[in-house]
Amino acid sequence: MSCCGGNFCNFEFPPGPPLLDLPVAHLKARYLFLPYGTLLERGEKVRIWMENGKTETVFIGDKWPVDFAVNPPRIIAEAPPTWAQVALDSGREEDDLLGWAFNPLHNPQAPACVVRFEHIAVAQPTLKQRLYALLYKLRTL
């Protein structure tokens, strides 16, 4: 897969959980706008990816449909995120998301949705572990 023309940045994703269809702006993203929806459900393990080839494994926390019948469109949820948050994490302009119903690529039979991710907590090494790692490196020189 290449993210740019001329095959300047070819990369392949390592094996693992399924990748989402669209990239995110950064690996700590909490939301992603999927214009054609997804069959994935809450609690499934997936990988989000950036255009530079980096990936991170996350769980799908929630999947909310988007109602484009009202103006402005609204995310159907009890406490929906703002469109600015979704646009920032999705790497798209807020106006593009709000105007998706008027985009020529819009497909009413594939309803759009917003997905919220739950990131897996990664334990940071303690000071003691870092000191042991440094001492081990010094010992093996």
Task: Write the CB contacts of 111 (distance below 8 Å, at least 6 apart in sequence).
Answer: 37, 65, 66
Query: What is the pLDDT, as a whole number, of residue 119?
Result: 86
Residue 2, pLDDT score: 46
Backbone phi, then psi, for 15, in 5-degree steps? Answer: -65, 155
The pLDDT, as a whole number, for residue 117 is 93
The pLDDT of residue 93 is 92
pTM of the model: 0.76
Residue 15 has, within 13 A of its CA and on its CB side, a CA count of 0
- How much is the pLDDT for 86? 93
Query: How do the pLDDT tens digits run along the chain, 141 residues long?
Result: 445 555 556 667 778 888 888 899 999 999 999 998 888 889 999 999 888 888 899 999 999 999 888 888 889 888 889 999 999 999 999 998 888 888 888 888 888 899 999 988 778 899 999 999 999 999 988
Do the Cβ atoms of 46 and 60 come closer than 8 Å? yes
